[in-house]
């Protein structure tokens, strides 16, 4: 479940990041041009992902732990996006194995 929450937080933050006017245009994931072109829709979808992640976190972990977990994920993944996106280190070749590893560890260990 935490892997799914992390994915939603990542997508929500990345949609907001890619829609920003300060970010230099670059195709890391391939959807940045659409997000920049339709900035309002991109930010709305990003907000929906973040609200969904927060709601699911509260639903599965409880009110206090859910909000705390959501903000920890938001700060961690937000920092990673801000650091790694300008270096072009975020792409499908790195994100899919990381997500698969997270799901594998979550299913096997929990």
Which of 38, 32, 28 lies closest to 83, judged by CA?
28
* Model pLDDT for residues 3-62, shown as the tens digit of each residue: 999 999 999 999 999 888 887 766 667 788 888 888 899 999 999 999 999 999 999 999
Q: Which domain holds residue 84?
A: 2-109
Separation of alpha carbons 51 and 36, rounded Å:
21
pLDDT at 31: 81
Domain count, the chain: 1
Burial class (CB in 10 A: 0-12, 13-18, 19+), 57: buried
Separation of alpha carbons 80 and 67, rounded Å:
20
Query: Three-class SS string for the chain?
Result: CHHHHHHHHHHHHHHHHHCCCCCCCCCCCCCHHHHHHCHHHHHHHHHHHHHHHHHHHHHHHCHHHHHHHHHHHHHHHHHHHHHHCCCCCCCHHHHHHHHHHHHHHHHHHC
Query: Does pTM top 0.85 for this prediction?
Result: yes
pLDDT over 90 at 110, yes or no: no
* Model pLDDT for residues 70-104, shown as the tens digit of each residue: 999 999 999 999 998 888 888 888 889 999 999 99
pLDDT at 105: 92
pLDDT at 9: 97
């Amino acid at each position: 479940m935490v892997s799914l929450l992390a994915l939603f937080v990542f997508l929500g933050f990345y949609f907001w990041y890619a829609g920003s006017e300060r970010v230099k245009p670059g195709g890391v994931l391939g959807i940045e041009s659409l997000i920049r072109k339709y900035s309002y829709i991109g930010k709305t979808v990003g907000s929906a992902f973040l609200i969904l992640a927060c709601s699911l976190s509260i639903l599965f972990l409880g009110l206090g732990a859910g909000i705390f977990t959501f903000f920890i994920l938001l700060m961690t993944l937000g920092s990673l996006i801000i650091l790694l996106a300008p270096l072009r280190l975020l792409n499908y070749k790195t994100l899919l194995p990381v997500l698969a590893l997270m799901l594998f560890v979550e299913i096997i260990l929990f």
